[in-house]
Amino acid sequence: MASGAGGMIGGLLVSTWGGLKHKRVYGVLVPMLVAGILQIIYGLSPLLLLSAVAASLGAAMHPILNAHSQSIWQSHTPRELQGRVFAIRRLIAWTILPVSTALAGALAGMLDPGYVFASLGLIWALFCTAQLFNPYLLRVEDSACRRFAIVEPVSCDFEPSLSDTAPRIESADQRPPAKLARRGQKSQ
């Protein structure tokens, strides 16, 4: 119940606020870090009220981080590929869910469930903390770095000029008259 209420509160918060407009990667990493810390508290807490508050606040982080993650993916994925890319993302997430649930259940059966939950929260928090210092991840929204990301890592401490932008493919009706004339077509 506490997690459901927290999820609704987080969803309402991100819906009314709209999320970060720049540096949205922090909108993913910081709520993940907070959720990891709250998971540690939840796993180690002997108090019901403290556990309920930690579960509620932890669940409130998920809509916030999901909204920022989705907006980053949408801004970087070409429109014609978004359906395929988002379907694969969903497939991976839903495939991992039963495997991770079974693994966590097996661990909780052999060990103390609170410690398992807290240790997974600690791993989550440490991973997110490390990613806050990952320069490649923090520059995921930088369009100059995005262009070179597959080829090789580059320093993106510069402002791209017009010559640095990727060339656009022009259709015949979008070309300036001079380009049309060079190809043996009459300019209009």
Per-residue tokens: 158: 């510069």
Q: How many domains does the chain have?
A: 1
Asked whether the beta carbons of 129 and 37 are under 8 A apart, the reply is no
Most confident stretch, 37-51, 63-77, 151-165: 37-51
Place of tokens 């609170």: 114
35, part of any domain: yes
Cα 66 from Cα 58, distance rounded (Å): 13
Q: Is the pLDDT of residue 54 over 90?
A: yes
74, part of any domain: yes
Predicted structure pTM score: 0.69
How many CA atoms lie less than 13 Å away from 67 in the CB half-sphere? 21
91, part of any domain: yes
Q: State pLDDT tens for residues 100-141.
A: 889 888 888 899 889 988 999 999 999 999 999 999 988 888
Q: So what's the pLDDT on residue 162?
A: 39
161, part of any domain: no
Q: Is the pLDDT of residue 144 over 90?
A: no
Per-residue tokens: 184: 């043996």
88, part of any domain: yes
Structural domain including 17 reads: 2-148
Asked whether the beta carbons of 156 and 142 are under 8 A apart, the reply is yes
153, part of any domain: no
159, part of any domain: no
Answer with the residue of higher pLDDT: 181 or 96: 96
169, part of any domain: no
Per-residue tokens: 175: 């070309």
Residues of the chain above pLDDT 70, percent:
76
- In the structure, what pLDDT confidence band is assigned to residue 20 with cuts at 50, 70 and 90? confident
Q: Residues with Cβ < 8 Å from 32, sequence gap 6 or more?
A: 61, 65, 124, 128
Minimal CA–CA distance to 30: which of 66, 58, 65?
65
Asked whether the beta carbons of 57 and 3 are under 8 A apart, the reply is no
Per-residue tokens: 108: 């909780």
